[in-house]
A and B are shown apart, each in its own frame.
Chain A
């Protein structure tokens, strides 16, 4: 006798199956939980901590939000593709040549690493030091110039989180790899490719930033996400590159029609002092939390 179900038996079984599985109501906390986790993920991406182990992120509680700084400009006057291609090649070459440097990034924050908003009238900033050679990354948050949070590898080789206001610190096993570069990182090749394809163009020259003469580049670059696939939420970016070194000195992002979220870059030569910036120092007298 055949064991294959007949169509009638099959549809009856499917009906029984459907009737037998209960309707399940999602928990009422589903959407609030999603809102909270989503906001946290976006904030973590901005500080480059999204690639850290989940448990570590929870323990660290890092969150920082960036600050918009003004209305969007009108559509930029794009200059010739040839100019853009030349600059792109120079930028790509410059970034490749800086592969031993310590890159210092700084940006404003509106939410502290502990998740509370920066109070009105106070000023929050985040600094990241990134080894272009090894990928080692050290991040520090400041409130009104005072250090409130510090994380990265310490001299002991352990991943260390320092809570300066309470003079305490936590240590974790070395994850064995450095956190990935902040989410949305663009390589020199990607910038060059984008500029050649017309996605990034020169929109201004001789802009002065921190005493440096810069070229302004505007466009929408499409970064890769954690899985290496194209990110769906690419947004317009603006870069300023030094007219002499061709290294980026600032980047801004357009969100909700406003340019802002400035990130400033300093390219530090690999001296002993600058290499030391990559390491967390546990303050003398700090108590280790368990």
Chain B
């Protein structure tokens, strides 16, 4: 009944933020969802929501975008769990071959992607936020809606699981071990 109107154009500060931060945020989105196309989709949706709230979040837009990305990624993962077959073959290596043509690097990345795929969504979140966004435990906890202790626990388990996976794959599979060397 009582309409409120805002400007129809993006704020210049927001556009600058997108130019400066979108590459890093896309990588975070990719870590969260393991699919290049879905990561781009998540990022665009998160940035649109940020633009719509720019006046409130422009002081700390990164935190808001990360929070939205985490929530969107959780939604996608829930959808995948309902339709697992559609994504069974999409989750892993192909998305990581983009822009890389060195064979060893590709194999390393594929191994890493396979390792990441063994992690739970929460474990992926802690790795993305702590080691790629360089957030503190407290900031990570705030975004994830978890306690600091939970974040530490997820971090420890994620790294442990990843280490075991990479170590196991490198030694257990002689074919892939040759490529990794």
User: Which A residues have a C-beta under 8 Å from some C-beta of B?
Assistant: 3-5, 9-10, 13-14, 16-18, 20-27, 30-31, 33-35, 37-39, 41-43, 45-46, 48, 65-66, 103, 105, 107, 130, 181-186, 221, 223, 225, 230-235, 237, 239, 248, 251, 253, 255-256, 261, 263, 265
Contacts and interface: CB of A to CB of B under 8 A. Distances in A.
A5 B159 contact: yes
Contacts of A184: 2-5
B72 interface: no
Contacts of B18: 30-31, 34
B23 A232 contact: no
Interface stretch (B44-52, B83-91, B139-147): B44-52
Q: Which of B5, B7, B8, B166 neighbours the largest number of chain A CB atoms within 10 Å of its CB?
A: B5
Interface stretch (B26-34, B74-82, B171-179): B26-34
B2 A239 contact: yes
Given A21-B132, A24-B23, A65-B8, A186 B40 contact: no
4 closest pairs, A vs B, by CB? A232-B56, A184-B4, A20-B112, A232-B55
B6 A255 contact: yes
B178 to A, nearest CB: 18
Contacts of B109: 20-22
Nearest to A19: B108
A221 B3 CA distance: 11
Interface centre among A17, A30, A41, A43 (most CB of B within 10 A): A17
Contact of B40 (A17, A26, A235, A251): A26
Contacts of B136: none
Given A13-B163, A21-B109, A181-B1, A235 B131 contact: no
A43 B132 CA distance: 36
Interface string B44-73: 100110011111110000000000000000
A251 B19 contact: no
Contacts, number: 168
* A21, A24, A65 interface centre (most CB from chain B within 10 Å): A24
B129 interface: no
Given A4-B156, A20-B112, A235 B4 contact: yes
B43 A26 contact: yes
Contacts of A253: 3-5
Given A22-B100, A31-B19, A232-B54, A107 B3 contact: yes
A61 B5 CA distance: 19
Residue among A18, A31, A223 facing the most chain B CB atoms (10 A cut-off) = A31
B52 A38 contact: yes
B3 A130 contact: no
Contacts of A23: 23, 27, 99
Nearest to B58: A232
Contacts of B98: 22, 24
A109 B50 CA distance: 26
A37 B5 contact: no
A26 B26 contact: yes
B164 interface: yes
Nearest to A220: B4
Nearest to B45: A37
B6 A237 contact: no
Nearest to A186: B2
